[in-house]
Structure 1
Amino acid sequence: MMENKDRNRLAMHLGETLREARKRAELTQVDVAERVELATEVLGRIERGNMLPSVPTLRKLCRTLHVDANAMLGLDAETAPSWPEEPDREAEDLPELRRVLRTLRRMDAAQLSVVGSTATALLRYSGQRPEDPSE
């Protein structure tokens, strides 16, 4: 069983590593929490070293932030193989786009239809061709 002192040291290291990786990826706590299906408050507690994530959550965090689990846990990265990286479709998204996506996810079907029609009209007005959904 892990002593309290060791547990606290691990939690602090993991939190610092997590925060650094998140900032390096230019993501907010909300962005990361959403991607790993975690409450933002819980992610904040983990980053502050007040809480350790479950193993499945740790794995999602590592994949989302492209950080080796051994590094996250303060272990030598050469002693164990790392997980294969999964492509991160939103890695290149601008912060503005991420904020819009968070807002859109809270809308119902009728609201999304209005936003979609408005976006299409804006594209046409600016001379751009809207994406064809049948393609």
Structure 2
Amino acid sequence: MPRATAKTPAAAHSRRPTARGRKRPSPPRHIEIRQSRLASTIGAVAKQARTRAGLTQADVAAALGTHPEVYGRMERGEVMPSVPTLMRMCLTLGCGPHELMGFAEVEPGQSVPGAHAVLPGLNDTPEKRRLLRRLARLDSPRIKTLARLVALLLPGR
């Protein structure tokens, strides 16, 4: 007796090769080379843009919402940033993704439009930014006490 074939969608799919059995075609060699160097390229350009902007690694890490050690590993090319982190890096450092990924040269006075609106106060000195980070960790009564102390120290009040 001939065996009846099932005409269900599951039966139709069972004869197709699975995605697990297929091998992804490898990209051309020049793309493989660029891809293998991408993390170090992003890190080198990020460091160049950071120093050009006068920022510390801690400043950029705070703006990205990461730990300074993680950002340091990004700059050294040990860690690849995610796409949202890459976007925040562009806005913080004032350069575009095409520059961070090595498709364009970073020009000295270049910045992304609107980058200044993201992090106000980046022109402050590193000491001032460190002090502000420490102040952010204080509770309300200590901030009020410190504000009174600063008022006493300021001349003309």
Task: Please tell me the TM-score bracket, short chain as reference.
Answer: 0.7 to 0.9
AA aligned to 1:98 is R
Match of 1:94 among 121, 125, 128: 125
- What are the within-5 Å matches in structure 2 for residues 13-92 of structure 1? 13-76=41-104, 84-87=113-116, 88-92=119-123
CA distance in 2, matches of 1:76, 1:93: 29
Q: What is the match of residue 119 of structure 1? A: 150
**CA deviation string 1:39-77 (max 9, x = no partner):** 111101100001110111011011011011101011248
Unaligned segments of structure 2, at least 5 residues = 1-25, 106-110
AA aligned to 1:36 is L
AA aligned to 1:70 is H
Q: Structure 1 length as normaliser, TM-score?
A: 0.80
Task: Tell me the percent identity.
Answer: 39
**CA deviation string 1:85-133 (max 9, x = no partner):** 232411221122111101101111111111111111112xx22x4xxxx
Preserved contact between residue 39 and residue 79 of structure 2 (Cα < 8 Å)? yes
Preserved contact between residue 38 and residue 101 of structure 2 (Cα < 8 Å)? yes
CA distance in 1, matches of 2:48, 2:80: 16
CA distance in 1, matches of 2:62, 2:139: 18
Q: What is the match of residue 132 of structure 1? A: none
Unaligned segments of structure 1, at least 5 residues = 130-135
CA distance in 2, matches of 1:37, 1:103: 16
Q: What is the match of residue 133 of structure 1? A: none
Shift of residue 6, structure 1, vs aligned partner: 3.9
Secondary structure of residue in 1 paired with 2:122: coil
Shift of residue 15, structure 1, vs aligned partner: 0.3
Q: What is the match of residue 107 of structure 1? A: 138
Q: Structure 2 length as normaliser, TM-score?
A: 0.70
| Alignment coverage as a number of residue pairs | 122
Preserved contact between residue 8 and residue 49 of structure 1 (Cα < 8 Å)? no
